[in-house]
Structure 1
Amino acid sequence: MFGAARSMLFGVSTPFRQASTVFRGPTSSMMVNTITKRFKHEYAPRYKAVRKTMKGKVSVRTGGSIKGNSLEFGKIGLRLKSKGIRMDANQLLAADKVLKRELRPSRSDLITRFTCNTAVCVKGNQTRMGKGKGPFDHWACRVPTGKVLFEIRGDIHDKVARDALRKAADKLPGLFEIITEESKIRVSMTHLIDKPEPVNYVDKLNAEPTKKWANIQAGKTDPLYKLYRGR
């Protein structure tokens, strides 16, 4: 009010106070979906919604499971040989930087076979018991024995690729081995087996169908099922 009266008396134009209330963009609550997305250089889940979990243990492969124990995309890779261990995202990122630096001249592709989806929470020393697990500290990954971490694909000399994987293994805890497409599958710290032939489960079910599978196949061909489909 005094500013308007002053401008009327002395002819001085003053800016409006409403200029300070100009829209400044979305608030922090509106930007959650964009801020929480991970970048490509981060070893973290795609959406970093931190959910506090128990410390847990590294799984031990039982029942003949060989998931992730052999090469799938590249021609040479790095596999854990010793006991399963939990690795921090910063440790894996250090190995990733070494590999990318060594592979840059050959323009080869680096393929990662893990996901750091375990949230590690840390409480300070000499803290009283209770009041939760503590704040989030870093992301980690549980790596069982025989798990392939890195694979290299491209036109690269075998000696250069092995030297790069050896340097990356020095950045990580545990003992590692370099494998190729002809390497056997590691099922434990002491046992290796030959890679089994892939199983075509569709042909296997068609030869000996179960009751559920027979009904599914009948629903695709029997015209009686089409009359009552979608009701």
Structure 2
Amino acid sequence: MTDILARSAKTRSTARPATKRRPRRAQADRREEATNTILDAAEKLFALHGRDGVTLKAIATGANVDSSLIHYYFGDKDRVFRAVFARRSVEVNAARVAAMDAYEARVGSAMTIEGVLDVFLRPIYEVVIEKGEGWVYFAAIVGHANASHFGGKDVMAENFDPIVQRFIGMLKALAPTAPPERIYWFFDLVSSSLTHGLAQTGRIDDVSGGLCKSSDLAAVLETMIAVFSEGFRSVAR
């Protein structure tokens, strides 16, 4: 009898091995996934409707979450907008800083306006070209914020002023005798063209009868560098 019971116990232990409990996902991972889902939905809506044309309810519907979750993570719509802006601007600014550092290390005092424009403009254009839909929406938001009095001047300053001041410093080094106001106006025109190009409004498609495409960001970039390089030489004189 003892042998029978022993064999029975052995059979049961073999037939029903203990199942391993799946580890619970870390709270930080769940939070990151939820916030990115919310920001992705908000980014698309802000790009299509502007900062003031979007409600928290619309963001919640787009993200397929309850509005209370957005309140919990962000507080209000303004903080969602700022988070949308900050999420991608960090990457853009890092790429610009790296490009500027590498350029200055390579050429020293032999900078050119073509080179300075390239390291300021190319990183943001290339990331939009290479990384797809979410970045196109972000570019549209930046364009609206830079062009509209009510669109987001505050978040433009929060996210881009340090890199802008470095760019302006490089321009001043290239034209030390130019009146400072001319340098700032030059920056303003570059900035306006930059964000207008990123917004891909389709206006140039209509004006050119299809000869030019606003989605051809590589052409926009190269044309800007050529045009503004010649313009800067006039400013420097």
TM-score range, shorter chain: under 0.3
Bigger CA radius of gyration: 1
Q: TM-score, normalised by structure 2?
A: 0.25
Taking CA–CA contacts closer than 8 Å with sequence separation of 6 or more, which of the two structures ends up with the larger relative contact order? Answer: 1
Higher-helix-fraction structure: 2
Q: TM-score, normalised by structure 1?
A: 0.25
